Structure 1
């Protein structure tokens, strides 16, 4: 077994506690985990993290897709010693798991990224920091210490600010920049709309912005030039007072300065103005390459033709993701996209997968279909909501333990040995491959 991880110890500790009448504080079964997390969250927080776009069809498709690729265990193979380690972008990691970037973590736990950082550090699993973080990246990276960290970028429509975020992340010791492509505008999230809830409009989840010098200059310029608010004026209500209090409370600095400077409200307006970037194209990747020496991973690739374009533009990695179903309702399941994309990438760059992962067996299937690593999102956030850093750690530790058991029971002794022969692939693929280009005569 891997020298740095003992799956049997994880399993054994739960059974040992059970013998003394102590059940897991953080449930192991995915549906029970989600149900308990919901009780620890406000309705607004629950639907923001658990909800998806439209009629939730893409989110349902993500999890249902795993049923289409059954595992085929092999017997009488020596699996006494197993290796969970992987190598990505010149770094060795103890497992193929990563903490996916999730924004507004303060809704799940007051310690937000700091709590997740402790969990990631305890397990030595890379944490991918979100641009929509509740904690400045410098604070989170200090919590992580030497534990690996990546940075997820929402590319602002202000290039100077986007560059500042990237260069701050590089200075913090990030191993890679993960550019999210599928969120240049907000998806049609019906649960959030029915609750009228957008956390950013209340000053939540914008700590990377308010801690940035370029963004602060944009805020001050807005105040100086008396730019009107992006939000329509309405008659004062109790809700408006609470929103203003939230905005002021989330902005850094002394209360007296915040009350009279106008910066907190201007910061929210500046965020709403600078966040969307629908004009981003393949040509912009060259700009990012000029900003940083870090590996560039494009997150949100769902079509093999886009994967080939990514290779043509020299990216270092591809992240197959549909944002957990949060952006487009009725989109292809991410696992089906992975199957097609891996066949055209052919190992030329690492592939990172997310969307729909709920267990170690799910991770195994994603690896079998071509992923080199897997980002886990909602499950650890549910654990965070229930029991803070310990809860997030427990969830990821159990997913890793199940992956190790699945490898052992399937006759596989290393992550590298998990291939397409480990699962049954449908004869009729969901997504066809693009036609190969013929050489010009």
Structure 2
């Protein structure tokens, strides 16, 4: 155990014997301090959208396909020419030092071990350069929470590009923080500095609540910002937080090289739709013009399959990987991804799909079961 400013961080480094990803939450709760756990697990308001994110996967069913003459499904795929061994990627998740002393560095190591893609957050516990170095050349994206101070944005983008980031994720759905009651009940303030903030005038994040952190973030984000970031970095810009076909097309019109369908894991606008429920319409509107990344509520290999079949090109996870980080460090993160890949492989076999491209063309049926 490592103690920083009175906050107890896990030092666990071990492979995990995982039954399923949902079971990890209760185990992680035992070792992550209450304030940190509440920040990680919590959604906004009464958490209706948070719950709907996972429930929504029951709105579509996979059609089994027999006599398909396949074995050993292949999970490899690519995005922007980047070869990946799995379609499951790490979502940009803030303040991973709340779960483990190595934070994003161990997450990067675990994701690299499975041949996956890591996305790191502006509000990381470790620096862009250190997180990239921990991945030892494995592909990474950088997620930008735009600041009101463009010089600050440029500094982050410069460091991300220098560290070898392959794309920029522009978070567009967090111009203010959602009303997160777990943080209010716990009177939560970040006990650990955020490395990317310590170097600049915005402070280090330590001793602040999430509302104070967001106060320095840009509340006005437009198509012009997509163009500006793309021109400044000469990297693909993916707009994160898209929940409607109209916004997807607006982003593409502004030069977005990708669309990231997400409701921030139910942490922002409560009462909005589950991400999976809006994915098909967005995919239809995008019509393969640019890649689509999807997250929110993914807990099973069958969820990954359904998201890919509904129009996603990559599927991201957040909380389950953070629980794996707390329980086992880099090896724990690796274990989480391996479990999800294992379940996905079984689903692909039973659905008669050999490749990820086959999955993208697999039929889904829809029957809305009564609650």
Task: Tell me the TM-score normalised to structure 1 length.
Answer: 0.76
Does residue 1:153 correspond to 2:155, yes or no? no
Shift in Å, 1:30: 2.9
Distance 2:193 2:44 in 1: 20
Does residue 1:36 correspond to 2:24, yes or no? no
Indicate the structure with greater helix content: 1
Does residue 1:366 correspond to 2:307, yes or no? yes
Structure 2: state its 5+ residue gaps: 1-14
Shift in Å, 1:129: 0.7
Does residue 1:307 correspond to 2:298, yes or no? no
Shift in Å, 1:348: 0.7
Shift in Å, 1:425: 3.5
Q: Is the 8 A contact 1:105 1:205 kept in 2?
A: no
Does residue 1:209 correspond to 2:194, yes or no? no
Q: Deviations over 1:43-75 (max 9, x none)?
A: 111111111000010110100100001111100
Task: Tell me the TM-score normalised to structure 2 length.
Answer: 0.90
Q: Deviations over 1:391-431 (max 9, x none)?
A: 1110111101111111011100100111354311459xxxx
Structure 1: state its 5+ residue gaps: 1-23, 220-246, 251-264, 428-441
**Root-mean-square deviation over aligned CA pairs:** 2.1
Does residue 1:140 correspond to 2:131, yes or no? yes
Output aligned runs, 1:156-305, within 5 Å. 156-199=147-190, 202=191, 204=192, 206-211=194-199, 215-216=200-201, 272=213, 275-305=216-246
Give the match for residue 10 of structure 2. Answer: none
Distance 2:153 2:117 in 1: 22
Distance 2:70 2:235 in 1: 36
How many equivalent pairs are there?
353
Shift in Å, 1:273: 7.7
Distance 1:32 1:85 in 2: 27
Indicate the structure with greater strand content: 2
Give the match for residue 49 of structure 1. Answer: 40
Give the match for residue 435 of structure 1. Answer: none
Shift in Å, 1:166: 1.1
Give the match for residue 111 of structure 2. Answer: 120
Bigger radius of gyration: 1
Distance 1:309 1:59 in 2: 26
How has the CA–CA distance of structure 1 residues 54 and 166 changed in structure 2, closer, same or farther, with 3 Å as cutoff? same
How has the CA–CA distance of structure 1 residues 70 and 195 changed in structure 2, closer, same or farther, with 3 Å as cutoff? same
Give the match for residue 418 of structure 1. Answer: 359
Q: Is the 8 A contact 2:77 2:85 kept in 1?
A: yes
Distance 1:121 1:39 in 2: 27
